Chain A
């Protein structure tokens, strides 16, 4: 059931916001989804390209294990009170299935699923595979950082789009 929050701005101006659970998902739930969620909750600044250390300080980034597939992990709360989560689905095209599952359970107005898989570039793909699947983080992590830095502007635009969707502008 959607929770309602009343925001009173002045005596007469009253607006109703439906608080949503926002779930960023991709194949592994450890790179682009985590970075986008970190931007969304304000752990990373959209106007500043993060360093490797900034990225590695984010919880869950490049730290997931195969048992984490399908588990929804909490990343934080955004500026208007929405809860932000990340999810690894072991597939890059699961948007329809997730949305259908939500609508079958009448929670589609409460959950917003955001696919970050289109933002995975080849450097990130190779780095992610080396680090997570091949268990060689020493080799994979520099590539992951480089790939994430390349994808960063696009991920910031995605998060901005999600913010606009929440505000009802789109």
Chain B
């Protein structure tokens, strides 16, 4: 299974969340961290594989829910086999708008590098929260999937019309 996490900033906050999902605590070790070229290209980046053999990818996009809609539409259009289907998880991280703004300012000529440094530092400072968010997200998604598998839906009792 392939999972795509979509947040506002791909290789900054969303990458930290993905690291949390994979139980990786050191974000700096991830070679893609703070790569502005990758962020601007909006290419999907593979972060790793989890214990369930699911591949985890990240991308940054200003409206994450739209990527989910596009993915669903693509699925309908092309009849993708279920095992090959990409699972898109749009995430909303507290405080990511400020990081997103800094990544945009990082593209400004001459002074951009200062903002890039600031954006990286901001993600690193928030890493305990972001990693925890990732861990919780991973647990929640897996628990939900397992619970849904085991659920047996009861028929709705008929109302007496008397």
Contact = CB atoms under 8 A, between A and B. Distances in A.
Given A72-B73, A90-B62, A90-B66, A105 B86 contact: yes
B86 A93 contact: no
Interface string B52-64: 0000010101110
Interface string A1-35: 10000000000000000000100000000000000
A72 B71 CA distance: 10
A23 B61 CA distance: 20
A71 B67 contact: no
Interface residues of B, number: 29
Given A1-B79, A97-B44, A97-B59, A104 B70 contact: no
Given A69-B63, A101-B74, 19 more contacts: A21-B77, A69-B66, A70-B66, A70-B68, A71-B69, A72-B73, A72-B74, A87-B70, A90-B62, A96-B41, A96-B42, A98-B70, A100-B44, A100-B59, A101-B67, A104-B86, A105-B80, A111-B74, A111-B78
Interface of A: 1, 21, 69-72, 85, 87, 89-91, 93-94, 96-98, 100-102, 104-107, 110-111
